[in-house]
Amino acid sequence: MHITTLFHLDHISVELLVVAIWFLSLIVLLIITVIYSFKCISYIQAVKEEFMDRVRVNYFFIPWISCMLLALGVPRSVATRIHPSLFFLFVIPVLMLEIKIYGQWFMGGKTRLLSRVANSATHISIVGNFVGAMLAAATGWGEVATFFFSVGLAHYIVLFITLYQRLPSNASLPKQLHPVFFLFVAAPSTASVSWETISGKFDYMSKMTYFLALFLFMALVVRINLFRGIRFSVAWWACAYPSNAIAVATIKYADEVASPFAKIIAAIFSVIATITFVCLIALTIIPLALFSNRMFPDVDGRQRKRIIRGKGNQRS
C-alpha cells in the first residue's frame, strides 16, 4: 500500500510538471507574439525587410509551428482531444506562406529562385509541413495529413539536393549564422515522427528518415570548426528544436526495435537535448539581465551602417 501511494504521488508530480511546462511555454509564446505585434505596428518597414530577406523570411513559420506543437503536446488534464478549428487556425497561415514562397522557387524572378535563396533556415518551412501532418493525423484527418507530408517530403528532397550541390549562385551564410546548420537535422527527424503519427507505427519510412537525421547529426558534430569562435547570440537557438526532434525520433525508434543499444542512444540524445536547452536558457538570461545588445548578430553590418548614418545626420 505504501509503495502504491508513493507511485501515485510520483505520477501526480510528473503530471503537474508537464502541465506547468506546457503553460509556461504558452505564456512565453504569447509574450513573444505581443512583442512582435507591436513591432509590426511600429516598424512595419523593418518587418517587410525581414519578409524579403532569404534567411529571415523562414522564421515567419515558427510562431505557427510552435502553436501546432503546443496543440500536439497539450496535457490530458487540460484537453483530451484537439479541436478541428485549431488545425485551420494554425495550418492555413503555414499553407499560405508555402504557396507564396514555394511558388517563387519555380515561377518567380531570377532573384527568388531556389538556387539563389536556399539556405539552412529554409528547412523551417519544410518542418511546418511535417508538423502540420502530425496535427492533421492527431485530429483524425488521415488524407489531409498525407497531403502535407507529401508536400513536405517533395520540397525537402529538392532543398536537400540544392544545398548539397552548393551552387555558385547560392550565397553562403555568414559565420555568425553557422548554428543554423543544425536545422539540417530538424526536417528528417520531424518527418520520421510525422510518418509514425500518420501510419501508426515506426515502419521503414520512419526509419529511413530517422537514419538520415542521425547521419546528418554526426556529420555536423565532427565539424567543430564550423562553430568555433562564434559568440553566443539568438542564432544558437537554432540548435534547440533539432536536438529535441532527433531525441524524440530516437525514443520512438528505441520503442519500436526494443534494443538495449537503441535505448542507450535514446537516453544520450535526451540528455543532449536537455543540456542544450538549459545552456541556451542560461546564456540568454545572463545577457538580458546585463542589458547587453550582443544577443543579436549583426550579420550584414546594416545596424552599424544605420548608426554611422544617424551620427552623420546629427553632425550635419
For the chain, the DSSP string reads: -HHHHHHHHHHHHHHHHHHHHHHHHHHHHHHHHHHHHHHHHH-HHHHHHHHHSTTGGGGGGHHHHHHHHHHHT--TTT-SS--HHHHHHHHHHHHHHHHHHHHHHHHS-GGGSHHHH--GGGHHHHHHHHHHHHHHHHHT-HHHHHHHHHHHHHHHHHHHHHHHHT-TTSPPPPGGGGGGGGHHHHHHHHHHHHHHHHHSS--HHHHHHHHHHHHHHHHHHT-GGGTTTPPP-GGGGGGHHHHHHHHHHHHHHHHHH--HHHHHHHHHHHHHHHHHHHHHHHHHHHHHHTT-STTS--SSSHHHHHHHHHHHHHH-
Neighbouring C-beta atoms of residue 303, cutoff 10 Å? 13
The amino acid sitting at 287 is P
User: Given this model, what pLDDT does residue 212 score?
Assistant: 95
Backbone dihedral region for residue 156 (phi beyond 0: left; psi -120 to 50: alpha; all else: beta):
alpha
Burial per residue of 219-245, b for 16 or more beta-carbon CB atoms within 10 angstroms, e otherwise: ebeeeeeebeebebbebbbbbbbbbbb
User: Given this model, what pLDDT does residue 294 score?
Assistant: 60
User: Given this model, what pLDDT does residue 274 score?
Assistant: 92
User: Given this model, what pLDDT does residue 296 score?
Assistant: 60
Whole-angstrom Cα distance, residue 194 to residue 185?
14
User: Given this model, what pLDDT does residue 303 score?
Assistant: 46
Rounding to the nearest 10 degrees, give the CA dihedral for residues 138, 140, 146, 147.
Answer: -100
Three cell numbers written together for 38: 507591436
Three cell numbers written together for 41: 505596428
CB-neighbour burial class of residue 145 (10 A; exposed 0-12, middle 13-18, buried 19+):
buried
Q: What is the DSSP string of 68-96?
A: HHHHHT--TTT-SS--HHHHHHHHHHHHH
The length of the chain, given as a count of residues: 316
The CB-based long-range contact list for 267-274 (8 Å cut-off, 24+ gap) reads 269/243, 272/243, 272/247, 273/243, 273/244, 273/246, 273/247
**Residue-wise pLDDT tens for the chain (316 aa)?**
444 443 444 556 777 888 888 899 999 999 989 988 888 888 888 888 888 888 889 999 999 999 999 999 888 878 788 888 999 999 999 999 999 888 888 776 666 778 788 888 999 999 999 999 999 999 999 999 999 999 999 999 999 998 888 766 566 778 888 889 999 999 999 999 999 999 999 999 999 999 999 999 999 988 888 888 888 888 889 999 999 999 999 999 999 998 899 999 999 999 999 999 999 988 888 766 555 556 566 555 554 444 334 444 444 4
Q: What angle do CA 17, 18, 22 make, to 5 degrees?
A: 115
Three cell numbers written together for 35: 512583442
Widest pairwise Cα distance in the chain: 83
User: Given this model, what pLDDT does residue 9 score?
Assistant: 42
